[in-house]
Amino acid sequence: MEKHLINTGAKDFLWAAGIENTFVPQTRPGHRALDEYELMCHYKHWREDLGLAKELGLQAMRWGVPWYKVEPEPNKFDWSWTDEVIPFMVEELKILPIIDLIHYGCPFWLKKEYANKDYPQYAAHYAAEFANRYKSLIKWYTPLNEPIINSLMCGMRGLWPPYLKGDTGYIRLMLQLAKGIVRTVKAIKAIDPESIMVHVEATGMTRTVREDLASIAREEEHRGYLCYDLISGRLTHDHLLFSWLIRNGVAPDALDDLQKNNISLDVIGMNFYPQWSTKQLYIDKRGKLAFRETEPEGDGFADLIRQYYNRYQVPVMITETSAVGSDEIREKWLESSVLMIKNLRGEGVPVIGYTWFPLFTMIDWRYRFSQEPLENFYLELGLYRLNREGNGMRWIETPLVDKIKSYTKNSRMMIGELQKETVQI
């Protein structure tokens, strides 16, 4: 694969936001469809919603395609909506889209969803059709958002289709997702060798205050690397998780196939939320191993970025971050996390972008499992809040808007320069 360069100077730093685009359209008794675009009326108000990014001075936007809508039947595509939205972003707003091809969810016709043996080829075919249509407009892609969360929700906890459970379900899903990512990347690169893949994962840390639990914390750390290691050919027989995978039904030949057909990583996309992304291992009152959230200030974020960069040696983009709580708490996280990135870039760690996610109000995923009204599930992580009064403007600015604007206008001062202004991928 031909190498090319990513600019990493302050003038090329990608200040970004994202629109929450979880799509889990399948229902079952007690479960409602979860389509964030539908629930937040983005299908109707997309021009106004995307226009917020321009007002903020952002360079990029993480934005997802609803696969289940654009391919309603196998190999029958409806691009009517994306044909409006994508040129608007690129040509009118001058925003770089980072396209989430799969941000959870499969089409209705794909029986067993991710567990379908043909899922990898269907995902790659959809990606190739998209790339062929939009290759003049789109260069940056996320083949699949957060393999870990997909595997947890669909494969371990049985909350989303195909409703598998346990370690066996988790691993089965993870292998399928990894195969799909590899095939997707190869399909897009065959169409556009200059395309850039941002592999987005839910990253986090596991702490323990007990020395006898340190080995378990280390194993948890490596589970965070699992998809990256699978797709990049690092999961060999001496990998820390090899025996866990084999004992849970993975054929050694399947791992060998992934290792032989590995892809290069272009950019690692790290998602991190200070209140949710750091866990502490402990022994509960029943003597059982348990986890609890810890370090809500996110102090270990810089160390986590270093760990991922040292392991994979490719550029890093912060593809999701925000904080829960008052505007003061959220503004403090914005300030501290951006300062961490400035310091890392000063050390030579190529962090090439920062994404506040989401841009505006989203719907808490618990909506899917409840019958309560939608308004009970508004989750305010964004830079803008929904005007719930229904009069006047759709969005209300939070104090973080002015802060972000000051950052995008003064990028060199806020995130500094790298020692090297280009890196090869």
Q: What is the CATH number of the domain that holds 415?
A: 3.20.20.80
Residue recorded with tokens 């370690």:
167
Is pLDDT above 50 for 102?
yes
Q: What angle separates helix 400-409 from helix 42-56, to the nearest 10 degrees? A: 50
Is pLDDT above 50 for 38?
yes
The confidence score (pLDDT) of residue 9 equals 73
First to last CA, the chain: 10
Range scoring the smallest mean pLDDT among 3-17, 212-226, 335-349: 3-17
pLDDT class for 1, splitting at 50, 70, 90? very low
What pLDDT, in 10s, does the model give residues 136-170? Answer: 999 999 999 999 999 999 999 999 999 999 999 99
Predicted model pTM: 0.96
pLDDT class for 228, splitting at 50, 70, 90? very high
Is pLDDT above 60 for 4?
no
In the chain, what percentage of residues exceed pLDDT 70? Answer: 97
pLDDT class for 27, splitting at 50, 70, 90? very high
> What span, in angstroms and rounded, lies between the C-alpha atoms of 121 and 117?
9
The confidence score (pLDDT) of residue 424 equals 62
- Give the angle 190-194-200 at the CA atoms, nearest 5°: 90
CA atoms within 13 A on the CB side of 208: 19
The CA dihedral of 53, 57, 59, 62, to the nearest 10 degrees, is -20
Is pLDDT above 80 for 349?
yes
Is pLDDT above 60 for 171?
yes
- Number of domains, the chain: 1
Is pLDDT above 90 for 30?
yes
Output 406 or 2, whichever has higher pLDDT. Answer: 406
pLDDT class for 2, splitting at 50, 70, 90? very low
R_g over Cα of the chain: 21
Looking at every residue in the chain, the average pLDDT score rounds to 95
Q: Which of 269, 265, 228 is nearest to 98 (CA)?
A: 269
Burial of 405 (0-12, 13-18, 19+ CB in 10 A): middle
Give the number of other Cβ atoms within 10 Å of residue 199's Cβ.
Answer: 27
Q: Which domain holds residue 363?
A: 5-424
Both tokens of 261, joined, read 């057909």
Paired strand residues for 355: 16
Give all strands (DSSP E) within 137-277, no chain letters: 140-142, 196-202, 205-208, 267-271
The confidence score (pLDDT) of residue 389 equals 86
Both tokens of 76, joined, read 């029958």
Average pLDDT over every residue of 373-393 = 94
Is pLDDT above 70 for 366?
yes
